[in-house]
Structures are given as C-alpha cells and as structure tokens.
Structure 1
C-alpha cells in the first residue's frame, strides 16, 4: 500500500472514535440490495452537477467508476453493521488515493473531485437513509448513521486529495510548466508550428476551437469545476490579462449550443467571454475579451452581444476626431444650442428622419423637432442627406 495511505490509515480519524450504529443484519441486507441503484443515482447527479465529469463517466470508464462507488458504499455498510471488530479501512483508502492520482493525470482539478464527493455523499445519504427508515431503524441510529456517512466520505476525500497532490508533485509539475508555456505561446501569437510543438510537449489534445474567458481571480477555481477539464488555466502572469483577472482558454466545438452551455455554466460569475475561434487564433478571442472588460459591464458579459460597442470603443482618439468634424458646423452656436442640436442630430440619424420617433425619444413636441431640424439644415445644408455624412454622424454620436 502507498506509504502516504498507510500513514493516513494508522492516524486517528473520525472513524476511530465513531458512534456505533450497529444496524441489524436484516437492515444491512436491505440496504445492500439498493446499492446498485444508489450508486447509479450518485453518478448521474455528479454528471449533471459537475460538467467536467460528463465524458469521464461514460463508456467503460463510467462502468468502472460506478462499480467503485458501489464497492465504497458496500464497505460503508460493513462499518455500519453489527460486530465488535472494525473492518480495515486500508483497501478503501488505497482505492480513493489511486482515484486522486488518476484525476490529476487526466487533468481534472481537486475541486472537481471534491465536488463529486460532496454530491455523492448527499445523494447516497438521501437514498440510504430513506431505505433505512423504511426498514425500521430508530432516531438514535439514524443520527449515528448520518455521522458515519460523512466521516467515511471525509476519510475517502482526504485520501483522494493526498493522491492528487502526490501525482502533481511527481509528474504534474512538468506538465503544468508545459501547459503554461503553451498558454503563453497562444496568447503572445507565437508561430503555429511552435504552438503545435508546445501542445505536443504538454500532451494536450487541441480542440477545434478555443474561447478566451476573463474573470475575477476569486471566481476562477470554482468556474474551472463547471467547464471542460482540458481548459488551459495559466497561473503565471500573461501579457494583456487585466489586473485581478484570471484567464481561461476553454475548448469548444464552435457550435452555438457549445457556447450556450459555456454561458450557462458561468452564470452567477463576472466572467467576460470572448468569441469562439480556431484554437491557433485564440489570441483574437483574448484581445476581444480584454476590450469587453473595458466596457465596464456588470455580471456575465458575452462579448458577441456587444460587437457594436466594441467597434465604437476600439479607437477612441479617432472617434473623438470624427465627432469634432461632424459637429464643426455647430461651433459658433451657444453651448445650450449646441447641446440641443447635437442630441437632435443623433436621434435624427438613428431614427432615419422619423419625426415622431425623435420627439418621443427626446420628450419634446414634434413641432420642436421640426424647428431644430430646420436649424440643422441651415447649418449643414445638403450633407444631412449624404449617406457618407449620415454614416459618420452615426458612428460619432452613437
């Protein structure tokens, strides 16, 4: 058995001083008869609530994990049954330890694994306790049963955390360095052959497309449990990442449904989501996400929903020059007149000359609009009908 697990198995734990449950053999057998169903429900809930496990729990691997969950629950029932001798925990701890190592090798975070443990414990307790009550256990036994469930899960999750840490310490550091180099190569626009070579060194399978996501550093760890396990999450500073923000490069198929799933997973965060682009071009997604951060919108921001604002904010100096040129004919007017005529000109071009719409937006009488537009015609002449001027005024005043 792994040395770290041996130490864990011999150290004091909640199970060493556990409250004795002493379930009747008949109750234990009834509960054993439900283990397959309980394990299936636990795994289904994990898939639903921790998206990074969806692919890992399908096919042969899914069957293996379902069987492991069922065996762990069986070991728990042995602990809960009658008998003066406590069954050994070492096999269960070793299995949990190796599970943690495997999760580290497959690129999933410890946060995702611990979330899976919490969900599995909740679902298992709900189903097993209902069955136990139906089988006739009393309130005192039910309380002890609950204590044992969560102490048992604490033991297993601690062993998995140790395995995850050991794997990262032994093999993960090199891979993490390679992933950092890959992320830097992608964000700095390195040559395609250099990026491909970096992906190969990191043993990272390139997706069809990538989406850059910028979010507060405090939200990054939780968000990483909700999205694709192969997401690149560099921890070192990268050029162009705003202060206090973390960068995620999320794999995508490029479909609208994939983007919808990502946005749904990030609800409740302050993430700014760039466009989905071919993976070698993710610097474009990153740059647009950075510009979208500067818009100052609150909550979850989909950059694709703010394209017009991003275009208008792309070159503020040029836009200021354009605005000055568009409003040049008003230079000799009084400040109050300039303000009124500017807002009228803006509304006039945006509403394509519809007087009633302009009046409604400005909260003035249509006759007032007529008077102001006549002033504009006197100042601008035929330019009010020139498509090029209308375009420039729209951009300058939008």
Structure 2
C-alpha cells in the first residue's frame, strides 16, 4: 500500500553539524537509549503495558531505533546540505497504521511520543554534554530533537487516521454485503461467511424497522450497535424511508425494549425472527407500512389486518361470492342486509349487540336476519360459509 504524503511539522532547517566525537558518542548509545525509551513508555502509558510482548513490540522497537538513527543523520549534516528523506518518517507512518490495527487510540500514540521525546532527549543530551558539546550547539541540538519528533508524530497520526478510515470503509462495505445477502435470501453458508468477513456477531434474532430517513440518526443512538442499515437500493422500500435490521434476543422483553427505544418515531416494526430470516421481517414491515397507520406501529398488533390485505384481489373475489345471493335485491336493501350480516357474524348472533352497533331497534335486526335466512338458507349455519363471510366482510 502506498504511504500517505505527510506535510512535515517542520522543514528541519536547524543545522547542528555535531562534532564527529559527539556524534560517535551518541551513536554508541543508540541501542541503550532506545531500550530505555521502550521501558519508559511501558511504565507511563497504560495502553502499551502489554504491547511489546508480541510481534508489534518488535515493530515498535525497530521504529524507535530507526527514528533515533535518522535523527543522528540529520544532526550531523552540514549547513547548506539538503536534508535527506528520513526513512524514519515513512516508518512512523506505518507505525501509526499498525497502532490503529492494534486498537490503540491516537491519544495513546501521542502520549508514547511525548514520553519517548522526553526520555531520548534526557539521555542524548547527557551523552552529548559528556562528549564535550558546546552550549550553542546544544541549543540547536534541542531544537532539532523536538522538531524531528513533531514530524514523526505528525506522520504517525496520519497513518493512524488513514488506517481507521480505510478499515472503516472496508468494514462498512462488508456490512453492506451482509445486509444484501440477508435481504436477497442468500444461502445460509453465504450469509454466515458475509457476517464473518464483516466481523459481525450474529444475534438471536433480527427485527426489520422501516422509518423515515430523517429519524434514522435519532433511532440509532438508542439501538444495538450491531444494527445493520442497508444504504444500497432496497427493493420495495418507500421513497424517503430507510430500513434498519435491529438485533435482539427474540423475547417479549427484548421487543418491548425495542419499541420503547423507538418512541417518538414513525417507525413500522416487523416481527422478531431468526436472523437468517430477516427478509421475512422486512416483508411484513413493508406490508404493515402500506396500511398507512400513524405513529409508531407494531406489526404484531395488526396481524388480522395483514392477513385480510395479503391478497386484495382474492378478498374481493371472496366478497363477491359471499354477497352473490343479494345481487338481485334493491341496492339499498342489499346494503342494509350486508351491514347486518357483517355485524351478526362479528357479534356471534347477539341481537342486542347488533342493534347497538347499527343504531337500529332489536326488532329491526330480527326482521333483517329473517331476510338473510330466506336468502342464504342453511348456509348461515355452515362453518365454512361463516368463515368465508367473516373474512370477506371483516
């Protein structure tokens, strides 16, 4: 991967031109200084307590030695000589990327640089004084030390930032692929592989939530961090709306918690299903959204309406068949008998309840039911017809 182009914190124009004896004295102490820098970082920066025991520890040690060696190369150059491109700057960039992959924050990285700068300056200044460096040269030496550390830390921060952005983009793409696999009914092994690539731990269940795009940010603050938010075109999703696939345990308690988290939104909440069956939850949420209900909608509260509207054309055919015996009556009579039949079915033949619902006298209900019996005959006692009529007229 190409390294990031980092603008140095300083142009490192400070010329020190260390005397050869001083430079040699410092170079002989490089390994010792590097080791003390590492030990001090371990002691003073908690995030690095166990960092040097694994492979990354060797990388960090090498980076410290490379940085110190690169510094001495700069410190011994003469006035007018072009500063060499220090390999340490590129090494610092790669170090920053590695630290991001290891999960350490940029704050921890900068703290390590501060500790390393202080420790290396103390040791190198003491060695330089012991080797006979003069006061003017020591002052320029100090300026170069801290300018050099600024450049290295800037390069490491750039590497850390680039790694986070790069890994974040990769993980987001993998999460998108996972969501797409779930919503296209991909084979279970393919979905599991997508979840593994996205470093996404499958939950006990997933619940589809359809809501306005303007309410997504608010909702996400209260939902499980593993919530999937497909941003590719999702088949069937109404314009201006978004889909969330929210992890849960699938229990009643988990559902109550989800609904409580979505209060104040116009979300339509599908059923909690096995996470591999997320498409089922999405389809039901879509159908419930088509009912044009207001506010927060729990699809579990509208199962009957969903059943009755599952196939509108079939329901219309069933209604026409149920009401066919009334087709030869006057329209006004047919309408009254239709209302009476519906109420009579839903109230289980309780005359007073039917009269109250239709705002008519009980005797009127009795008369109309008698008319229905004349038209339908024994069908009113046939369970199959009662079921058909209830579904058709409900």
Q: TM-score range by the shorter chain?
A: 0.5 to 0.7
Structure 1 CA distance, aligned partners of 2:373 and 2:234? 52
| Closer/same/farther in 2, CA of residues 171 and 379 from structure 1, 3 Å limit | same
Matches within 5 A, 1:83-94: none
SS at match of 2:223: coil
Residue 165 (structure 1) shift? 8.0
Identify which of 370, 386, 390 aligns with 1:374: 370
DSSP-derived class of the 2:387 partner: helix
Which whole-Å CA distance do the structure 1 matches of 2:293 and 2:278 have between them? 22
| Matches for 1:172-191 after TM superposition, within 5 Å | 172-191=168-187
Question: Does 1:293 find its partner at 2:289?
Answer: yes
After TM superposition, what 4+ stretches of structure 1 lie above 3 angstroms from structure 2? Answer: 162-168
1:271 maps onto 2:267 in alignment: yes
Q: 1:166 to 1:218 in 2, by over 3 A?
A: farther
In structure 2, the partner of 1:326 is: 322
User: Structure 1 residue 353: deviation in Å?
Assistant: 0.6
| Alpha-carbon distance in structure 1 between the residues aligned to 2:160 and 2:246 | 22
Paired residues of 1:188 and 1:239 also in contact (CA < 8 A): no
Matched with 1:350 is 346
What are the superposed Cα offsets for residues 67-115 of structure 1, whole Å, 9 maximum, x if unpaired? Answer: xxxxxxxxxxxxxxxxxxxxxxxxxxxxxxx9xx99xx89xxxxxxxxx
CA contact (8 A) 1:344 1:372 kept: yes
Q: 1:355 to 1:387 in 2, by over 3 A?
A: same
Distance 1:204 1:255 in 2: 21
| TM-fit CA distance, 1:269 | 0.2
Matched, 1:229 2:237: no
Alignment-derived partner of residue 250 in structure 2: 254
Asked if 1:205 corresponds to 2:209, the answer is no
Q: Which whole-Å CA distance do the structure 1 matches of 2:252 and 2:258 have between them?
A: 10
- Find the counterpart in structure 2 of residue 193 from structure 1: 189
Write the deviation string for residues 371-392 of structure 1: whole angstroms up to 9, x where unpaired: 1111101100010111111100
SS in 1 for 2:335: helix
TM-score by length of 1: 0.59
TM-score w.r.t. length of structure 2: 0.59
Deviations 1:301-321 (A, max 9, x none): 000110000000000010000
Q: Equivalent residue for 1:220?
A: 216
Give the CA deviation at 1:192.
Answer: 0.5
Count how many residue pairs are aligned between Structure 1 and Structure 2. 247
Contact 1:268 1:300 in 2 (8 A): yes
Partners of 1:249 and 1:324 in 2: CA distance:
40
Q: Deviations over 1:189-221 (max 9, x none)?
A: 111111001101111110011000000011011
Q: 1:328 to 1:168 in 2, by over 3 A?
A: farther
Q: What SS is found at the alignment partner of 2:211?
A: strand
In the other structure, the counterpart of 1:310 is: 306
The change in CA–CA distance for 1:245 and 1:323 in structure 2 (over 3 A counts) is same
Measured against aligned partners, the alpha-carbon deviations of 1:239-281 in whole angstroms (never above 9, x if no partner) come to 2322221000000011111100000010010000000111001
Task: Say if 1:286 and 1:163 are closer, same or farther in 2 by CA, change over 3 A.
Answer: farther
Residue by residue over 1:95-152, the C-alpha shift from the partner in whole angstroms, topping out at 9 and shown as x without a partner, is xxx9xx99xx89xxxxxxxxxxxxxxxxxxxxxxxxxxxxxxxxxxxxxxxxxxxxxx
Aligned-residue offset at 1:167 = 6.2
Q: C-alpha displacement at 1:169, in angstroms?
A: 2.2
Structure 1 residue 168, shift from structure 2 partner? 5.3
Q: Partners of 2:236 and 2:276 in 1: how far apart?
A: 17
Structure 1 residues not aligned, in runs of 5+: 7-60, 62-97, 107-161
Q: Tell me the SS of whatever aligns to 1:268.
A: coil
- Mapped partners of 2:196, 2:268: distance in 1: 29
Give me the whole-angstrom Cα distance separating, in 1, the residues matched to 2:255 and 2:189: 28
Q: Secondary structure at the match of 1:205?
A: coil
Q: Whole-Å Cα distance in 2 between the matches of residues 216 and 167 of structure 1?
A: 33
Larger C-alpha radius of gyration, 1 or 2?
Answer: 2
Deviation at 1:234, TM superposition (A): 1.4
| Residue among 328, 333, 337 paired with 1:337 | 333
Q: Is the 8 A contact 1:330 1:338 kept in 2?
A: yes
2:241 to 224, 241, 245: 245
SS in 2 for 1:327: helix
Q: 1:164 to 1:218 in 2, by over 3 A?
A: farther
